[in-house]
């Protein structure tokens, strides 16, 4: 479809139309924290039917209200027929003071940027971890608008904030069977684009029959990842699968959801785990746990034989979800398995040992594009140890080449060579650095 034409229009301060009433309510309850300051005057954009059309004050579109009720039995899912996730219009990225960074005409599609599937999922999980509040008029600290289309724009690393009517220009339609992590499921409601449209990121199948999947989405009250029926909770037949044109790596998929996508695997059963178990499922479980912060429980790495290390790591993961009693017994059940495969839930938190060495947070904390406090802590310790010469402005929370090169120099100072000095901190590098 042709991109919409917009006309700027400043309504009266006491305008009583539903759109202005909703805007004043949103601005009055604006979230603090990571949100970027808004422009001094937020001007609603009105879709013009034609260039010569005369737009009156009463023509401002009514914006759908936020979720007010939940579908019975499904927490977080709205009642009614529509997703109720109003979105903002197409716009450039916003800077730290709430002003456009790029004055380029947003109606001109930019060249797609190359990005891997793993990076798309990592960027998507970043907002999930920070619980970015849903707000169609606010912009997060990375410059992207805090609504569903701004979220997908961020995950795909697009040069601006798109909307459901323009995201398709950066993608190509695919079939359900072709879906892989990082693709999107798009519902653009032409009859009500700003109140009845929605878009989610596909994170991988969660069952062998391919009836449910891990969806990453920006929805009230904040970004979340949850198991979702295909194609969505409502308006399912209207959602269309798309693949970003700039995705690289062929069929490579993001860590944590690859197994569920490439070869959907249901829970293998409780008999596969526990004392005496010896099978590939135990190895797979261990690798998933290491990626979620459980590396410190394994002295020699996950293997096919069930050990106390597996039970301790499973228990730590279950407790990280807030489970207690029989729900946290150190033995994986269907829900534990699902969260590990799809990347859902909370990671195992790092802890300090009796000697003051912080617990190794796992390899996932130092993947390309990772942003977290562990990266900052690592960098600060490298500087203290005299291995920070590659930092220009850091250290900071975003993992980068300067971090990798500093870690590599530290590893070489230990006498390590080859793959043992690759610049990626493992448990032993971490232990020696903080000892």
The mean-pLDDT minimum among 57-71, 202-216, 266-280, 309-323 falls in 57-71
**Mean per-residue pLDDT of the chain:** 75
Q: What's the confidence (pLDDT) of residue 134?
A: 92
- pLDDT at position 78 over 90: no
Q: What's the confidence (pLDDT) of residue 27?
A: 47
The mean-pLDDT minimum among 154-158, 203-207, 363-367 falls in 363-367
- pLDDT at position 417 over 80: yes
- Measured in whole angstroms, how far is the alpha carbon of residue 91 from the centre of its chain? 21
Q: Distance between CA atoms of 397 and 377, rounded to whole angstroms? A: 8
Instruction: Considering only residues 376 and 360, tell me which one the structure prediction assigns the higher pLDDT.
Output: 376
The mean-pLDDT minimum among 17-31, 169-183, 240-254, 410-424 falls in 17-31
- pLDDT at position 4 over 90: no
Q: Is residue 144 within 8 Å of residue 82, measured between CB atoms? A: no
Helices (H), 100-204: 117-130, 148-155
Q: What's the confidence (pLDDT) of residue 265?
A: 62
Q: Is residue 58 within 8 Å of residue 169, measured between CB atoms? A: no
Average pLDDT over residues 248-272: 58
What are 69's two structure tokens? 């009720």
Q: Distance between CA atoms of 3 and 248, rounded to whole angstroms? A: 27
Give per-residue pLDDT as tens, 119-151. 898 899 999 988 999 998 899 988 999 999 999
Residue 356: band (very low, low, confident or very high) from pLDDT cuts 50, 70, 90: low
């Amino acid at each position: 479809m042709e991109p919409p034409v917009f006309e700027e229009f400043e309504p009266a301060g006491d305008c009583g139309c539903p759109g202005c009433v909703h805007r004043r309510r949103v601005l009055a309850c604006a979230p603090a924290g990571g949100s970027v300051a808004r422009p001094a005057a937020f001007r609603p954009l009105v879709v013009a039917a034609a260039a010569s059309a005369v737009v009156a004050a009463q023509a401002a579109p009514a914006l759908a209200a936020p979720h007010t009720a939940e579908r019975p039995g499904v927490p977080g899912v709205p009642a009614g027929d529509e997703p109720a996730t109003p979105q903002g219009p197409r716009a450039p990225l916003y800077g730290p003071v709430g002003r456009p960074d790029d004055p380029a005409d947003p109606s001109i599609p930019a060249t797609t940027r190359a990005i891997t599937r793993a990076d798309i999922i990592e960027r998507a999980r970043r907002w999930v971890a920070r619980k970015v509040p849903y707000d169609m008029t606010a912009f997060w600290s990375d410059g992207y608008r805090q609504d569903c289309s701004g979220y997908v724009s961020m995950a795909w690393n697009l040069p601006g904030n798109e909307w459901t009517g323009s995201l398709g220009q950066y993608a190509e339609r695919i079939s359900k069977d072709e879906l892989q992590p990082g693709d999107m499921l798009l519902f653009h409601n032409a009859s009500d684009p700003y109140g009845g449209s929605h878009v989610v990121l596909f994170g991988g199948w969660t069952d062998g029959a391919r009836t449910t999947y891990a969806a990453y989405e920006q929805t009230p009250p904040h970004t979340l990842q949850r198991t979702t029926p295909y194609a969505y909770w409502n308006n399912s037949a209207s959602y269309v699968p798309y693949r970003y044109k700039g995705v690289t790596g062929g069929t490579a998929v993001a860590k944590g959801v690859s197994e569920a996508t490439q070869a959907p695997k249901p829970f293998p059963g409780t008999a596969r785990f526990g004392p005496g178990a010896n099978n590939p499922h135990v190895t797979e479980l261990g690798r998933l746990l290491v990626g979620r912060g459980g590396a410190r429980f394994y002295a020699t790495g996950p293997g096919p034989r069930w050990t106390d290390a597996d039970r301790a790591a499973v228990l730590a993961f279950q407790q990280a979800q807030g489970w207690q009693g029989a729900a946290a017994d150190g033995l994986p059940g269907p829900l534990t398995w699902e969260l590990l495969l799809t990347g859902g839930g909370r990671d195992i938190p790092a802890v300090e040992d009796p000697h003051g060495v912080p617990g190794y947070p796992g390899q996932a904390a130092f993947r390309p594009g990772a942003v977290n406090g562990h990266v900052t802590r690592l960098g600060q310790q490298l500087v203290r140890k005299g291995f920070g010469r590659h930092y220009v402005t850091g250290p900071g929370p975003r993992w980068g080449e300067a971090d990798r090169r500093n870690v590599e120099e530290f590893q070489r100072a230990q006498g390590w060579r080859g793959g043992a000095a690759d610049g990626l901190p493992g448990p032993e590098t971490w232990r020696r650095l903080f000892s």
